[in-house]
Structure 1
Amino acid sequence: MSKSKDANAARAVLEYLNRQNRPYSAVDLFNNLHKEYGKTAVVKACESLTEGKKIREKVYGKQKVYVADQSQFPDVDDKEIREMDTRIVELSTQCKEKDDQVKRLDAELRGLNSSITTEEAVSQLQQLVEECEACNQKLKTLKEGGRTVSPEEKDRIYSARTKYVKEWRKRKRIGNDILGAILEGYPKTKKQLYDEVGIETDEDYNVLPPNI
């Protein structure tokens, strides 16, 4: 890496440590600077800044951490520290209240976004009113014994009934003829055949084709 890039890395590390004023390892600095500089460059920057006494190095076993030179900061008395601690608590409480407020507003926004618009609500209401009026009119007609089926519709229904009853009788007769032919060579009873094949008859359900 060029000297200019090394210098930039050193300057970025120094500014970050002075701004945060808390200890970091070289890896932490590498990540916190968004990997803008290579890990090797950050390590070299920490070492050169330590040698120049611009930052301080602390060794904990095999781990090295770096912190800003505290001599550059003014002394803070105990009273000021307590005031700062109190202020931190106040700000933390305010921050939590704001977070809760944001969550409530987000939930309200999601609810509003999922709701229908006023125009859609008016349209749905009008549709329901029309359906309700139609149902009330039909109910009134039924209560008064009025004719609700036209002669044409009645004839169509009766014609369909006749057709389906004839088809029912026809298929029942064909089925009985086939089963009768099978039973002629079947060694068991009709009931056993029906049970074995899984045949269900109209008689099993007490139904018969209606009269035409």
Structure 2
Amino acid sequence: MASKPKAAEAKVPVLKGQEAEDKVLEYIKRMNRPFGAVDVAANLKGAVPKTATQKILVALADKGELVQKTYGKTTFFVANQDKLGDVSSEKLADQEKEYKSIEEENKALAADVRALSTELAKLRAAPTDAALAVSLEGAISATEKARQRLAPLQAGTPLVSAAELGELDAEWTRWRGEWVRRKKIFTTFWQLATDPLPPQDANDLADDLGVDLDTPEHAALERGPVCASTGGAGVLGKRRR
């Protein structure tokens, strides 16, 4: 199958002679900034070949239309400022008006860019549909497990039997009494050992020996309803009813 012929690309007509010179001079004056021959030829899109551009720029500099400056191995050309015509006050006013209009437009565009950037950041931070599906699935699973755990309570099924409560109360009474006895023994011996010492030295000795004394939280627990009673079975049983 024959290939389709490519569309012919539009070619910029190559200028020569006076037309090329006028084109280069017009461009340099309009831009009014330093250029090298390569840049001018590239910016004119090949309308004037690079070699011809270099010759034209040198010729224009010799005529005084351009000013030629050499920096190292590179030569730049800029419009002779003395040859540029004065700008009328009306044109300056029009340019000032145009500048203000463009400045206001730029401000409006900058505000739009900021607003759109903020919106884009929000969209990127928002979870994707796939992430939402995973989160929803996890929430549904957690809800189902919670309902399964609540089902016995909603049906009125006792979670702990009276016998189990009795065993727990007996264990509590036993180990609570053991703890109180050991604490009393320690307190007695500790007071005998630290009685001759100043309070700070007693604290330092406790730190050196690794003794952990009761904190304010421990003292508050001791004064609470759990430890205030020694009735054993009555403590846990009352709290669970």
TM-score (norm 1): 0.47
TM-score (norm 2): 0.43
